[in-house]
Structure 1
């Protein structure tokens, strides 16, 4: 029963929905009418709204997830609302059906009412148009009267101004004729202002005649004033009519800038004619030696102007400054002609007159700069800069000055060749000549900047660069000790260190000099200033000096290497403490390195020296092995012990002479380890017994790691094997290398065995100092690392980098060889070789 009732209600609801949709489609009004109906009915229920949106309505009722919990209650409310609406719709439908017969009559009455409304609106518009026409007819006469009043006012004003113009012009002519220039200036200003008002009326004959009369009068008045100046200008007696001419200048000011410029030029020409008669009429007076008299003449003229003429001309004209500008232009032209004619120009005369000219220009600039401070009413309050207005005439001849400075520098450089080294207690650690040189540069730079900052200054920069190169290549490198086969002395070591310090000082100061030159020279020459080549020259001095240090210390420890070759390396029967030559070497190196460390002020260069010294020593020691042949297995064991002691001594180099030694830098430790590992690799190969021969060949391939037969035979020569033994081993070696086709052709270890010291001492600059970067500190910071990387690149691939099985096999065989030797203790000492040295 319940289900059937629900079904009936659902059917009714569906029918109501269909009816409501059809009704909405039928009863659809225009938007304007809908808005009016809504405004009249004042609908508050959103369901009654014409643009009802069910989705928005539901979103308002269920704004969030919490509201969804009561959706059942809301649904029931909606169902109740729907039933109520359905009932109302049915009721309204019945009422509409019952009253359907009266609908057409009501519509007809509504249409009739609308037509009547339109008729009334049309009548209102017609009456409004009639009213507007009536108002225009009433106000037409008033508008005409308003226009007439406006034109009448303009006409009266024009007539009044015309009358004023005529009257003022008549009075102006009278005052000008009487030379009452103060009143004339006032009347002229009024006439010109009134004349500007009538510019648009020039088509009227009378106005055009009057305008022409004003222009003619101005020309006559200008001519009259110029005649007054001309007639009263008798040398410097223009002050006799001060008041008259001063008032005339007021009239000139009213006439405009062109007329004022003409009068100023006339005055300057009158003044400068006297100068031209004096200095252009007599060649002796016009000579370069009398340049000071030219400037004295202008000073007298300016003094006379201040005393007699300044009260005549208005201050804002700045006539004295204008006169000075004209004077400087004429003097510059005269000096150019004088210098061209002078075939015997000397530097002293040139610089004397140039200095006088620069001082005169500065005086003029200062004079008129001080005057401008008190000209607040001046239109142009910027003083003229007199710098280089005359002195530019001397610039083409400043080459004589540059040549004189060049000659002075040449004498200075020649005297530096015999300079003495500072004493031990001297505060300076550089050669005094470098300080003197840059002090001279600073003074010369300042003096030349006063004379010119253009081409002559650029020539001076090139001269500075030239003598810097000469100082580096001839003075500093030329002071290095000559290559002689003798031990280096303490004084020679100190001199080399001072040369390194001086080159470092010059490098830094050259960069500062370059910056100063760029700041001083004119903008067009800035990009041309570059001292990179000069800085590289000083870096080359450092590199050459480091090589000289290494070469000198090599000659000092040469006796130790000679003593090493005299030991019976083939007849040693046991391994003992370190050999005597090691002690001699350590003592010699300590005495030299301590002095070097003390005298080199830049620790980076000392580090460079240590790095290169290790490279040099390793190559020299390896080559000295050849002189020690034959070397037995016990001899090789003793050498390994000595090499360990040498390595310990080399690691102490960076801290030698220090009160509180610190650990050596990691990069230096790496360089020493890589270098000494070469020596140890060769000695461990020599240490390998040649019986069985396969063991020696196998160890050579693992240690030396190349397939070069010549290198293999060098090892055999060092071991002192006979020809037949070498032949057998060589044949086995040739067979073995067929199994190792990937081996390199030659090992860098064996190439060191045949190297000579010239490969180190004559190495290019890039091998000692990192190429010049943009900043000096960066360069020095990179030196040790670069040296370490070069050493690393020279180190051969160790056998530890080989396959694990091969390395293990070699370790085992090598330990057996070491253990099989008859190790003995000498004088109660420790084992000949430490356990660490047994490791490969």
Structure 2
């Protein structure tokens, strides 16, 4: 059998693919030449017998080959035998596995059958439990329903007996329980017995309704109705009414109110004498007497939730309003200011009393009076006073001169101290006084004439008013401002439109007219400043023109702004500014603040223009001096001139605005911004300029920055640090000039270096700014630079990251280095620029220009 196996092996094709042979060699590496896939028999023989002399070993080689072949055959035979036994073992293992699987399947079937049996037993157990639970619930529901039914039957029978005896106290409590039981039996209304009981309950309620209404009818319209007195039966009947329909309660309240006010409607129904406006005091006395008697006698009979006294008062207001409106309609020609004001005052006082007395009353259904009026509950938000954030003073106190302060501070209903208070508007607000609104034109015309006369009077007084020097603790508000708002306080009552118109006249004829002219120092009204449009005439297109007009006001006339403005004009403008602030504060509730905002802005602009005009000569001189320097020195003369002008101009403004520190801060901000902006523009005009000239300008920048930071407190005995916002604004404005000078004084070997540094230091600059920098450097061929800058800005805008490969370097003969260098230097780094700034700062500190 082994021979047959060997024969079959010899017949097999044992040539494997190259990938298989390579994989076998990787798994079982061998150095035997016979194991090689490319075995060459001729080459192997030549290797064993390289020369003719080696042939005498041929017998040994043959014997070795024969032994090797015999060993290989033996190995093959062993492998074939092992394969035959492995096949038999495999069949045996497969048979055992099949038997194990069959046994496992049988066990699974057995477990499944047992699980089914267990499930059936659990279902039988739970079925019994569910049946018991259902039986328990049904039994409980049945017992509860039977109890309710028994209670309903007994309650119905007892209610019928109590109704017949008019024992309303027990009826009230029992009826409430019966109605609650009926709610539980609603789902059983299809049962005839329950339906019959529900019908009986409704009959009892209807009977009680008719019976109680009859009792109240006899009490208020029977033999003893002239002096009705509260009885215990009627008080208990009111408790029963709470269990009946709401219309029963409304009917009773309407009947009671109508009975109480019947006499009033008769007494004051006429239009000739008792019903006229002059008799409102009698109306008020009648009502107060009737209301007091009602609260002492009948009010205790009604539940507090009915609010019968409040409804009686509201009906009185409705009837009074209707009667007064009808009387004034019939006698319109007899309505005069004195009578109208007296009637309005009396009725408004009565309304205020009712609002305080019935603070918790909110009427939603106004069906108690013949003239109904819908009143809704609204909310109002009380605005908190603005917080003063002036950094130059340590404490701010509210002005005590506000005549409206006692009238506008209303206590919070909740008593809380929050920033927002919710006010519930009572239905008594305007319940009577609404009838006077159609006839207030008589009063409005009267106040209109009075205010017109007063404004004309103030206009004449302001021309002769002398703006005297004031002490630190005095106020320089124009006296006519206080007089005006004293009149407003007395006349304020629905006259907002008229008062706003006169505020505009006061703003134009008095405050604006008090501003000085542009050229001279006169105080006449109607100066150039008064021609600036009021806010109602101002739009966005006119703002630039208005500002330009204000800027030129102080440059007109003989002698210019510096000569034409003296200390008196400073006091005049500051006084108008403080007066406008006072008027703005007073008119917060008249919604006319924009008028005085415009005056405030105009005054600040005038003050800024005045100081800016004084400093203009020093600023204009910057580009006129030579900046081709060989060495730096102390700061330039224009810095000293600016410091001198500011030291002379700022203290008078600060002194006259000591009560308006907020606007002094705004004045400083605007003035600093204007001076710094003009300084930067003058720096652009400094050409030709060398690197040393740029360093000198940097020295001037630091010196001017120190002057501007101390500007708000210059000449002040109390030294305070300027606010952070002002410091940041000055630092930011001066930094732009310093960055421009750094770009101009730099050394560049090509156009790209200049453009890169300009874009890095001034990323928000425009092409016009770049052109000015190029002109300062004296570059002749500017077209290539501007085109390169335009390309770089376009590329930067179109992409989110800068270009990684710069354009090829180009040389430009127009670039002249500040000093000879042996080789073209690289682009100056930020560290190199910072080293220059550090040297300048050390130089400044050594000369004590900055601390």
TM-score of the aligned structures, taking structure 1 as reference length: 0.49
Higher helix share: 1
- The structure that has the greater radius of gyration is 1
Larger RCO, structures 1/2 (Cα 8 Å, 6+ apart): 1
Structure 2 length as normaliser, TM-score?
0.48
